[in-house]
Structure 1
């Protein structure tokens, strides 16, 4: 049991770190599409983890969560942008902010597609592909030369982690990506309302902590997780 637990932690950490790198890469790459090359100048348009990891947020916190078997929480170094270089500031801010969560949704979809291909090719059975989501044992753990279980665990982690990152980051609490999108929308609808909303930004981290400890965050992301998982399962 200990070996399986350690293996799951390693696979989960790799999936989480890769997903964070893709998330930050997407922010930097999209910002450059709108005329801001700050991310390229700082070496952030890359999937090299060394460019994105934060020792506390990308390593310590995720490992604590994985080892504890609980909520996987963490962050990478934020991508710096220069809005003065954007060609269309409102559209650019929305697109750049949404790029990270969208990349995570695409990674989750990609993992589901790989599982589907494994099923169609006969590499694994559909029951085994779904087993790690339902808690059942694999009926044929020796499939794919004994790699079926770690591969399915990794793909499961990719789906769960990326859905979690996408949903969490779209919550409109500063400094999450969703807050930048909402702020951009409010700047068009009502500048005073946008300014009032922006006044909450210095307290965003504390709002997130309160929402987490009171269970408000789980009330938001868990139903959405179930919806997205149900949609992905229709592919299998």
Structure 2
């Protein structure tokens, strides 16, 4: 494997670690805001990736993906919260759930803004390895956060989207919905890898990022 490929793999993995850390720390910060300090007391309200690492989701699976030439993907340890501590037990879980994908959206927008600035620099400065590395890094950041945001918004447990959906369900419907829990991973696998439920949203997200950052002109 060439030095270039190794550097790209390392860059992608660092972007994933940072994105997962921001995602989980945002959950913890929102839970703390709504009155539950559980995650904060466990040291989860931090950008230190060590606090959020899940061996399978943060180490094994991403490394397999990167060296198998498949889309980079992973997850971190879920951030726990105690609903009994929340100042609003109905709305609190929804805002805590949305904090993760919301942080991903903010990073996508930030990456697009930085990419636009870097792309403009290409017009006035000679192309350099350092400049191209920064462009790659923020492109990967936008891509990875798009995947994380869309995946986590799928309304199935244990993903963030299921807390949002439950807010709109009646108590009876919530019980029926929770009964899907044991089968959720199988359903997720079918929806994501067989049906390709995220394919079109991902294409739309990346088109939007390209237009925000490069005025519709892809660099990669």
Task: Give the TM-score of the pair, scaled to structure 2.
Answer: 0.91
Aligned to 1:162: 145
Deviations 1:74-95 (A, max 9, x none): 1101101000011111211111
Tell me whether 1:191 sits opposite 2:171 in the alignment.
Answer: yes
CA distance in 2 between counterparts of 1:69 and 1:125 reads 32
Q: Is the 8 A contact 1:183 1:198 kept in 2?
A: no
Name which of 148, 171, 183 aligns with 1:203.
Answer: 183
Q: Is the 8 A contact 2:30 2:96 kept in 1?
A: yes
TM-fit CA distance, 1:212: 3.5
Tell me the number of residue pairs that the alignment of Structure 1 and Structure 2 aligns. Answer: 213
Tell me whether 1:118 sits opposite 2:98 in the alignment.
Answer: no
CA distance in 2 between counterparts of 1:180 and 1:223 reads 23
TM-fit CA distance, 1:204: 1.3
Q: CA RMSD of the aligned region, Å?
A: 1.8
SS state at 2:165 partner:
helix
Deviations 1:23-73 (A, max 9, x none): 000000001110000011100000011110112210110111111121222
SS state at 1:235 partner:
helix
Q: Is the 8 A contact 1:24 1:44 kept in 2?
A: yes
CA distance in 1 between counterparts of 2:190 and 2:111 reads 33
Gaps of 5+ in 2: 214-220
TM-fit CA distance, 1:141: 4.1
Aligned to 1:129: none
Tell me whether 1:221 sits opposite 2:198 in the alignment.
Answer: yes
Q: Is the 8 A contact 1:39 1:81 kept in 2?
A: yes
Name which of 209, 213, 218 aligns with 1:232.
Answer: 209
Task: Give the TM-score of the pair, scaled to structure 1.
Answer: 0.85
SS state at 2:93 partner:
helix
Aligned to 2:70: 70
TM-fit CA distance, 1:191: 1.5
CA distance in 2 between counterparts of 1:170 and 1:9 reads 26
